[in-house]
Chain A
Amino acid sequence: MSDPLLTYLLRLGDDSLILAQRLGELVSHQPDLEEDIAVANLALDLIGQARALYAYAGEVEGRGRTEDDLAFLRDEREFFNAVLCEQPNGDFGQTMARQLLFDAYRLPLMDALTASADETISGVAGKAVKECRYHLQHSITWVVRLGDGTEESHRRMQAGLDAMWRFTDELFTGDEVEATLAASGIAVDPSSLRDPWEATIKEVLARATLERPVDPRQRGGGRQGMHSEHLGHILPEMQFLQRAYPGQSW
């Protein structure tokens, strides 16, 4: 790994960008106009976070790469998002399961990063934490409503949760990147986010009458650039313009 700070910023930014791209796929495909606008808002918040993190990453790297370069000119193995973020939308239950699992992790993460020794990171986190708080409220509302809804909505919500559960351990697994940066107060040790995450999930699942899944087939690798089959399909669409017309802008 190169500069740990650069890698850390890409991990944070890639989570935002790839999940935003997934949510963006839903725009104009949601069951109603209201939810269409809601997911677009989530995606835009995440893109805003990604932009700030990429801009800083480019600065830290010092090779003149811009936020656009980092978003559009990297290939699969150079993305460090958690594999949870790249999982398909599936049905609305699966989308909301993925969102809940992510939001319940991202909020305490951003909350802790507001105290980062790195002023740029604490600044980005200060803005992001407000957005994340709303994102979590939004996903909790849907998970509870669908879980504690009709027989069909309950079945789908549980299935979505079961399908996404195996990508959650990775969120709390750090390596030398986080360890190095956490020692100097810049990063957060991901394992410290497990307790607040578990507390949120436990409460939400109880309200939603959903079962906490047990899935020993945990799958990670995203933080090291080893992705599931899905990221390879997201990138050509997201990066289409730069792949077809390198250097093009509008």
Chain B
Amino acid sequence: MSYDVPRMAGDHEVDVAASTGAGHPLWEIFVRASRGLNHVHVGSLHAPDAETATQHARDVYTRRQEGVSIWVVKSTEIHASDPHDEDAWFDSEKPYRHPTFYEIPDEVGHM
């Protein structure tokens, strides 16, 4: 079923790709919550350049004091492992590789 949408003078076609920022490259955002911790991937956003991406990330992902540092990386620069390799890469059971037989002193903190 389709409807005829009445056209008003001044109506114009909306370029959806342009209006959603899809014309801009995608950036992956990493935020460090506090000193001593690693930057952690928090999401992605569209931006025309690295500087704007960093500012957008500040506005989108750190509005509630989530972080003290931001990294942005072009999504196309991320190289990922192949999901098909999951068994071969990650499914080996080698419990002796876990240092579970040691007690970590409290003073060590994050490790």
Contacts and interface: CB of A to CB of B under 8 A. Distances in A.
Interface of A: 31-35, 37-38, 41, 134, 137-138, 141-142, 145
Contact of B19 (A32, A34, A37): A32
5 pairs of A and B residues whose beta carbons are closest in the complex: A32-B21, A34-B56, A38-B59, A37-B59, A41-B59
27 contacts: A31-B18, A32-B20, A32-B21, A32-B46, A33-B60, A34-B21, A34-B45, A34-B46, A34-B47, A34-B56, A34-B59, A35-B56, A37-B56, A37-B59, A37-B60, A37-B63, A38-B55, A38-B59, A41-B59, A41-B63, A134-B58, A137-B55, A141-B51, A141-B52, A145-B48, A145-B49, A145-B52
Interface residues of B, number: 18
Nearest to A146: B48
Nearest to A134: B58
Interface string B9-21: 0000000001111
Nearest to B61: A37
A156 to B, nearest CB: 15
A32 B18 CA distance: 8
Given A38-B59, A41-B59, A32 B24 contact: yes
A37 B46 CA distance: 13
Chain A interface, >50% SS class = helix
Contacts of B51: 141
Contacts of A32: 19-21, 24, 46
A34 B18 contact: no
B107 to A, nearest CB: 35
Nearest to A137: B55
Nearest to B58: A134
Contacts of A31: 18-19, 21
Nearest to B63: A41
A141 B21 CA distance: 17
Nearest to B48: A145
A145 B47 CA distance: 12
A41 B49 CA distance: 20
Interface string B41-72: 00001111101100110111001000000000
Contacts of B19: 31-32
Contacts of B52: 141-142, 145
A38 B45 CA distance: 13
Nearest to A31: B19
A88 B46 CA distance: 27
Q: Which of A32, A41, A134 has the most CB of B within 10 A?
A: A32
Contacts of B46: 32, 34
B95 to A, nearest CB: 45
Contacts of B58: 134
Contacts of A142: 52
Nearest to B45: A34
A93 to B, nearest CB: 15
Nearest to B22: A32
A31 B51 CA distance: 18
Interface in B20-41: 20-21, 24
Contacts of A138: 55
Given A31-B21, A37-B60, A141-B55, 18 more contacts: A31-B19, A32-B19, A32-B21, A32-B46, A33-B20, A33-B45, A34-B21, A34-B45, A34-B47, A34-B59, A34-B60, A38-B55, A38-B56, A134-B58, A141-B52, A142-B52, A145-B49, A145-B52
